[in-house]
Amino acid sequence: MAALELDPAWDQRRVLVTGATGLLGGWVVRELVQRGAHVVAIVRDSVPRTFIEVEGLWEQITVCRGDVNDESLVRRVLAEYEVQTVFHLAAQTIVPIANQSPVSTFETNIAGTWTVLEAVRLSGSGGEVVVASSDKAYGLSTQLPYREDHPLQGRSPYDVSKSCADLIAQAYAATWSTNVCVVRCGNLFGGGDRNFSRLVPGVIRDVMSGRRPILRSDGSPVRDYIYAEDAVRAYLSLAGAMRADSSLRGSPFNFSLESPVSALEVVKVILEVMNSDLSPDVQARADRELQEQYLDATAAHTRLGWHPEVSLREGIERTVEWYRAHG
């Protein structure tokens, strides 16, 4: 697939991506490679059948084995490969796992963030750093949609980890003028997601296997969504803008379709796209879920010129196509 928007600014640019084996990381790596960047990835575990493996990207990037919590490793990578841009995407992203193992989630999501930012600060590289936060960082709010100036008040372990990482990034910008910005996306989906506890890939896998798709909630929770390629454009657009506009430093940005839908509506779209007459198995066992979470992306439109290009339905069509092609 051709690059989404050819941008010569990325050609030969030296870019570090943490979390490259994750869904977002894999799509970011692919786009950077297509644009001619020299990509370095810090990878902790060898995860089979990830997007980056299926897409044949391992041989096109430099892989450094280790943990983002190892500051000496991160500093070595930044120096040795003369990194100019950092996309810090490494995180434990599954809410049930965060509830079961909060300490490991805090170590990865919070300590991992300050480790990367401290390594950048000490290296004096001066390049831009884009940190992945989440709409979950806002936590419970009586005001919707979330805007960037809303307070960060996560309460569950995962939400708290994102609130903390978000604030840490802003602290580095305010205190040491680190050129860092924060991305808060809606629910990300796309081909290559191996976390089948998530709604979109889970339903697709169930239908492909001939099983009734499982819906852990009662189907009513409302969320924002964003297709992977739109999210990649968001990250790259923000990083490019940060090079030219110092006023962006420390800013958070929301990115989403701004078309919130219920979980049941998402399932219905998937079933329609897959021409399935299966009915969802609504288990209504997901407790402690917020009923509504969705974003206002006006700042991304006005300050970055970013707009989503892929609708929910088209994104699901592309996602289904990817899984059908790759199994």
pLDDT tens, position by position, 62-110: 999 999 999 999 999 999 999 999 999 999 888 888 889 999 999 999 9
The answer as to whether 167 is a domain residue is: yes
Per-residue confidence (pLDDT) for residue 160, from 0 to 100: 96
Per-residue confidence (pLDDT) for residue 322, from 0 to 100: 97
Give the residue with greater pLDDT, 80 vs 288: 80
Check whether 325 has a pLDDT greater than 50.
yes
% of the chain surpassing 90 pLDDT: 85
Give the residue with greater pLDDT, 288 vs 163: 163
The answer as to whether 279 is a domain residue is: no
The answer as to whether 199 is a domain residue is: no
Distance CA 34, CA 120 (A): 26
Per-residue confidence (pLDDT) for residue 221, from 0 to 100: 93
Provide the b/e sequence for 195-206 (b: ≥16 CB within 10 Å).
eeebbbbbbbbb
Q: 181 with 128: CB under 8 angstroms? A: yes
Tell whether omega for the bond before 213 is within 30 degrees of 0, i.e. cis: no
Check whether 320 has a pLDDT greater than 80.
yes
- Catalytic positions are 158
Q: What is the pLDDT of residues 217-242, one digit of tens each?
A: 999 999 999 999 999 999 999 999 99
Average pLDDT of the segment spanning 161-184: 97
| pTM, full prediction | 0.94
Per-residue confidence (pLDDT) for residue 130, from 0 to 100: 98
Distance CA 304, CA 181 (A): 13
Radius of gyration for the alpha carbons in the chain, expressed in angstroms and rounded: 19
The answer as to whether 196 is a domain residue is: no
Q: 2 with 25: CB under 8 angstroms? A: no
Q: What is the pLDDT of residues 230-274, one digit of tens each?
A: 999 999 999 999 999 999 999 999 999 999 999 999 999 999 999
Average pLDDT of the segment spanning 7-24: 92
Task: Classify burial at 53, counting beta carbons within 10 Å of its beta carbon; exposed 0-12, middle 13-18, buried 19 or more.
Answer: middle
- Indicate the number of domains in the chain: 1
Per-residue confidence (pLDDT) for residue 7, from 0 to 100: 62
> What are the residues whose beta carbons fall under 8 Å from the beta carbon of 166, sequence distance 6 or more?
131, 133, 137, 152, 182, 184, 252
Of 46-55, 115-124, 205-214, 290-299, which gets the smallest average pLDDT? 46-55
Rounded to the nearest 5 percent, the helix, strand and coil shares of the chain are 45, 15, 40
User: Which CATH number fits the domain that encloses residue 238?
Assistant: 3.40.50.720
Tokens 């840490």 locate to 168
- List the one residue out of 161, 107, 101, 105 whose CA is nearest residue 132: 161
Per-residue confidence (pLDDT) for residue 257, from 0 to 100: 97
Q: What is the pLDDT of residues 42-57, one digit of tens each?
A: 998 877 788 999 999 9
The answer as to whether 201 is a domain residue is: no
Q: DSSP code of 258?
A: S
The residues with which 40 forms a beta bridge, in sequence order, are 16, 62
Structural domain that includes position 95: 11-186+225-258+292-310
Check whether 205 has a pLDDT greater than 70.
yes
157 vs 67, 154, 183, 290, CA distance in Å?
Answer: 21, 8, 19, 14
User: What mean pLDDT, rounded, does the chain reach?
Assistant: 94
Q: What is the pLDDT of residues 103-155, one digit of tens each?
A: 999 999 999 999 999 999 999 877 999 999 999 999 988 789 999 999 999 99
Per-residue confidence (pLDDT) for residue 286, from 0 to 100: 75
Distance CA 43, CA 321 (A): 28
The answer as to whether 318 is a domain residue is: no
